[in-house]
Chain A
Amino acid sequence: MIEKTQATAPGIRPGTAPDGLDARLVVDRGVFRLDVSLTVAPGEVVALLGPNGAGKTTALRALAGLTPLTDGHLRLDGTALERTPPESRPVGVVFQDYLLFPHLTALDNVAFGPRCQGASKAVARARAAAWLERMGLAAHAGAKPRKLSGGQAQRVALARALATHPRLLLLDEPLAALDARTRLEVRAQLRRHLAEFEAVAVLVTHDPLDAMVLADRLVVVEHGEVVQEGAPSHIARHPRTDYIAQLVGLNLYRGEADGHTVRLEAGPALTTTDDLSGPVFVAFPPSAVTLYREPPAGSSARNHWRCEVAGLETHGDQIRADLSGELPLAADLTTVAAAELDLHPGAEVWAAVKAAQTHAYPV
């Protein structure tokens, strides 16, 4: 697969074991089976992206040693870790709701790791203070977790995880517990800290924006399996499943290409500017769809289908129309256009897409 080869670059130096993470995580729970392979180079940030229940958190727990592997392997900087208990793994975890110890101050929370690694109380505290300073939290060192804001707690959690000098940093939905406004700010800070981190970082999220902003590479997990991986921009342009297409806001179809015509599995044929043959994906953004009340005879669009409005959703000053019919698709239009077309659930419309705005690529 093209995106795999171009994205993965484990730091293999001649004569040394490969640095970074090399894992195949298999966790079998009978009704659910996780089987995910991950290769991450030092300094790289990888996001496991997927819907709820896809197995992302299980994968993270397996990396941390909190959930035992049924099968597979886990090597970090050349050292096998499958049998290493969690307390002996060079792994730091930022949990979804941070799990800061409520009875300890921010400083002692961060000093907890160094203390467990054998540092004296004074040394551990000095190290913790340096981390808090770096996170811009020196003023809150003496505060108990419940006195911290969401963004501050997130940074304390990050400092606590980093204070043990992990070779693998795991972040479970690092921004999920924050409100929308703090999120923006914390996301930017987190991106900066992750960029500075020299070892392997793996984060789990169901939010495509978080994943695309924070990670160098995305690994999309569905039903316990990797369905696609690659650079965020690549995945956004070439989604391989409905889930990813919906995430990045694209209409995605599978079909059989013959030159510029693609016979879609959904039924109708579609004309594209790409010249391909064999099984392909065709994608186009909802904004490329134009809607008409009458068959668009005079339109230059060569792809048009009769549809029925199944639902309408407002996004800012845009309306996203969910269309069913010959070809189920999503269309974006302005509120003015929607009013002119008298769109309402059940209304019959014609949808058209210009060939130039579609994008076909091999499966």
Chain B
Amino acid sequence: MTRADRSDAATETLRGGPRRRRVRTGAVGRGVPLPLLVPALIGLAFLIVPLVALLVRAPWRSMPEQLTSADVWQALQLSLVCATAATAVCLVLGVPLAWLLARVEFPGRGLVRALVTLPLVLPPVVGGVALLMALGRNGVVGRWLDAWFGITLPFTTAGVVVAEAFVAMPFLVISVEGTLRAADPRYEEAATTLGASRFTAFRRVTLPLIAPGIAAGAVLAWARALGEFGATITFAGNFPGRTQTMPLAVYLALQSDPEAAVALSLVLLAVSVAVLAGLRDRWMSAG
């Protein structure tokens, strides 16, 4: 699978698969072999039942007070701020990285692309440990950050952003690189013949042309950052108000107050559904 395929697959999934391709030929199941139909329906149920269960078991009556509690607000606010900041980091670093991978021939490009994709398949906890080794107080880079600038990242809110960006960046890079590869590089050449430097051509021509791909990638990265758990708890810990994001709060609440956990989960579910809806209406149909 190539990078572009993968991002296409990702957007395809978000779009809800190829649309309106229903098997509706008379009686239900006619023409669909049972060995395919049965696992398909079980698979569908497997994906949907847990979400339905979440709605069924939701403590609707105590919901208002659950959601207005200071702790929930704090976690939600922190989650939104960190996910947004992480997305910003991904955009600032990821878009140029995607451009480099798509437009510049250099030795070892395949390897670099593989490394960029690695966090996508890496267990997030491993990512968290790796971040500690790199940016921890005694880490390879963190030591110098601490000594020279007095910056410590682990177990801080900035650490949450770092952990989330680490995990979310591949989504953005892959999405933007796919769009860049599909975009006609000759527009950049045309800009160049009009006196634009390569950077101006990128800024004034390429960037507007690939904006839908960037937006889609940013939303994917944001959603991934919002749900990030493993790398965050490993690298940034679980301090309420500082590093305790929604997923961490859900996990913690499940031990002491399951009702609260369900309520918090519902909030995250609502955010996810909103993201999906937003993607569909705004960018996916346009792209």
Residues of A within 8 A of B (CB): 64-66, 85-89, 91-93, 95, 99, 101-103, 112-113, 116-117, 160-161, 164
Contacts and interface: CB of A to CB of B under 8 A. Distances in A.
Given A101-B205, A103-B208, A103-B209, A112 B189 contact: no
B20 interface: no
B16 interface: no
Nearest to A170: B193
Nearest to A99: B190
Given A95-B186, A99-B187, A116-B200, A160 B192 contact: no
Nearest to A100: B190
B182 to A, nearest CB: 14
Interface string B189-200: 111111111101
19 contacts: A64-B193, A66-B189, A66-B193, A87-B192, A87-B194, A87-B195, A87-B196, A87-B198, A88-B195, A89-B193, A91-B193, A92-B193, A92-B194, A99-B187, A101-B205, A101-B208, A103-B208, A113-B195, A116-B197
Contacts of A89: 193
A102 B206 CA distance: 11
Contact of B192 (A86, A101, A103, A161): A86
Interface of B: 184, 186-187, 189-198, 200, 204-205, 208-209
A164 B196 CA distance: 11
Contacts of A117: 195
Going nearest first, the 3 A-B pairs with the smallest beta carbon separation are: A116-B195, A113-B194, A99-B190
Contacts of A91: 193
Contacts of B200: 116
B201 to A, nearest CB: 8
A274 B187 CA distance: 54
A255 to B, nearest CB: 46
A87 B201 CA distance: 10
Nearest to A89: B193
Contacts of B198: 87
A172 B187 CA distance: 15
Central interface residue in B192, B196, B204, B208, by most chain A CB within 10 Å? B192
Nearest to B200: A116
A102 B200 CA distance: 16
A177 B274 CA distance: 44
Contacts of A161: 193-194
Contacts of A116: 191, 194-197, 200
A199 to B, nearest CB: 15
A93 B193 CA distance: 7
Contacts of B192: 66, 85-87
Given A86-B193, A116-B197, 13 more contacts: A64-B193, A65-B193, A66-B189, A92-B194, A93-B190, A93-B193, A95-B186, A103-B209, A112-B204, A113-B194, A117-B195, A160-B194, A164-B195
A73 to B, nearest CB: 20
Given A101-B205, A102-B209, A112 B186 contact: no
B208 to A, nearest CB: 4
Contacts of A160: 194
Given A103-B209, A112-B191, A87 B186 contact: no
Contacts of B209: 101-103
Central interface residue in B190, B191, B197, by most chain A CB within 10 Å? B190
A116 B192 CA distance: 9
A317 B198 CA distance: 54
Contacts of A102: 209
A201 B195 CA distance: 18
A112 B193 contact: no
Central interface residue in B184, B187, B195, by most chain A CB within 10 Å? B195
A160 B208 CA distance: 19
